[in-house]
Amino acid sequence: MSSYPALRLRRTRSAGWSRRMHAETVLTPANLIWPLFVTEGDAVEEPIASLPGVSRWSVDGIVARARDAAAAGIPCLALFPNTPSDLRTEDGGEALNPDNLMCRAIRAIKDAVPEIGVLTDVALDPYTAHGHDGLVDGSGYVRNDETAEILVGQALNQARAGADVIAPSDMMDGRVGLIRAALEDEGFVNVQIMAYAAKYASAFYGPFRDAVGSRGLLKGDKKTYQMDPANAEEALREVALDLDEGADSVMVKPGLPYLDIVRRVKERFEVPVFAYQVSGEYAMIEAAAAAGAGDRDALVLETLMAFRRAGCSGVLSYHALHAARLMGA
Ligand code: PBG
């Protein structure tokens, strides 16, 4: 009688009840934030070709999606506007309009589905004629301090419309502190800031730029403000600064290719960390499933679980509603 092997790690995996009992990580609908694209009009649904299964919705449709999300247990939505092209200008001034598409969508959701959180993106790219996140100078460089001032106005505009979480995605230096101070000044003490702290200049954002209509407009790239994919230490410095300036939580973006960053941020700072499984990642899963390279539902749930295992409190995912419904089933 051999005692080999004394320890069999397969023992606890040998039945479903036991696998469930030994799971180190749980994934629930509460871990999901659902990004939605808003467009003008009434009863409008515009499918996005590079993001199969995702549409832009007019405000009434956005409210219906908010109801779907709440029913599926999703705690929070992230909104992005597809600004009409005649309102896109050099300085992105439409971002400051209290009646812009974004503000109308926020108000409609908070009116109809007050129990769901609304997260809003702060950056000028859906509003500028050149597709950059800020003001560009004559050489095409995005001016930091002048942009940050406008972003403060954009954030206040969103908070006044009822946004719960302000999420600056522009990567300007110093903007989190300025936004926090302005929110406090206006009495928005419980409006949170989720900083896109470590946001990389990534090739995975293509379908998103189609969705907000900025792809064809964008001149050059965003490498002078978004991070170099080669860098990790710099991500820790970005996170440290944003926390110091008053961020309540931080985001890493894109998602799966940057799970090492999620893990390092979580271990170093012990704060809520979120990740954005971005449009190109969504499109890759859809393409793989369509090509028969993998089972869609299994790919979706496995990737979301990977974010949780890496240390994420939650994930922004275009698959959120589908995934939440799978979990609820
Ligand atoms: C805008 C912004 C982008 C995304 C979120 N906010 C695009 C960009 O920086 O060019 C990308 C999200 C996605 O690809 O799903 N600042």
Please list, in sequence order, all residues whose beta carbon lies within 8 angstroms of the beta carbon of residue 121, skipping any fewer than 6 positions away.
Answer: 78, 79, 80, 167, 168, 169
Q: Which residue has the tokens 């799970």?
A: 259
Choice from 37, 150, 218, 278 to test ligand 1 binding pocket (greatest atom count within 8 A of CB): 278
* ipTM, 2 dp: 0.97
* CA 41 to ligand 1 center in whole angstroms: 23
Active site residue 253: yes
| Whether pLDDT at 93 is above 80 | yes
Name the band, by pLDDT with cuts 50, 70 and 90, for residue 4: confident
Nearest ligand 1 atom to the CA of 205 is: 14
In this prediction, what percent of the chain has a pLDDT beyond 70? 99
Output the average pLDDT for the chain.
97
The pLDDT tens digits for 130-149 are 999 999 999 999 999 999 99
Catalytic residue among 110, 199, 222, 266: 199
List the domain boundaries for the chain: 27-328
Active site residue 222: no
Task: Please tell me the distance from the alpha carbon of residue 166 to that of residue 179, in angstroms, as a whole number.
Answer: 9
Tokens for 158?
A: 């969103």
Ligand 1 pocket, residues with Cβ under 6 angstroms: 121, 123, 125, 133, 169-170, 205, 208-209, 222, 278-279
* CA 127 to ligand 1 center in whole angstroms: 13
Find out if CATH 3.40.50.970 is the number for domain 27-328: no
Task: Please tell me the distance from the alpha carbon of residue 213 to that of residue 154, in angstroms, as a whole number.
Answer: 19
Nearest ligand 1 atom to the CA of 218 is: 10
CB 314 within 8 A of CB 304: no
The predicted pLDDT at position 143 comes to: 98
| Whether pLDDT at 329 is above 70 | no
| Whether pLDDT at 266 is above 70 | yes
* CA 5 to ligand 1 center in whole angstroms: 51
* CA 170 to ligand 1 center in whole angstroms: 9
73 — alpha (psi -120 to 50), left (phi > 0) or beta? left
Backbone angles phi, psi at 156, to 5 degrees: -65, -40
Catalytic residue among 110, 222, 253, 266: 253
Nearest ligand 1 atom to the CA of 123 is: 16
Mean pLDDT of 287-293: 98
Name the band, by pLDDT with cuts 50, 70 and 90, for residue 2: low
CB 200 within 8 A of CB 226: yes
* CA 318 to ligand 1 center in whole angstroms: 13
Residue ranges in 162-310 assigned as alpha helix (H) = 175-185, 206-211, 233-244, 259-269, 279-290, 296-310
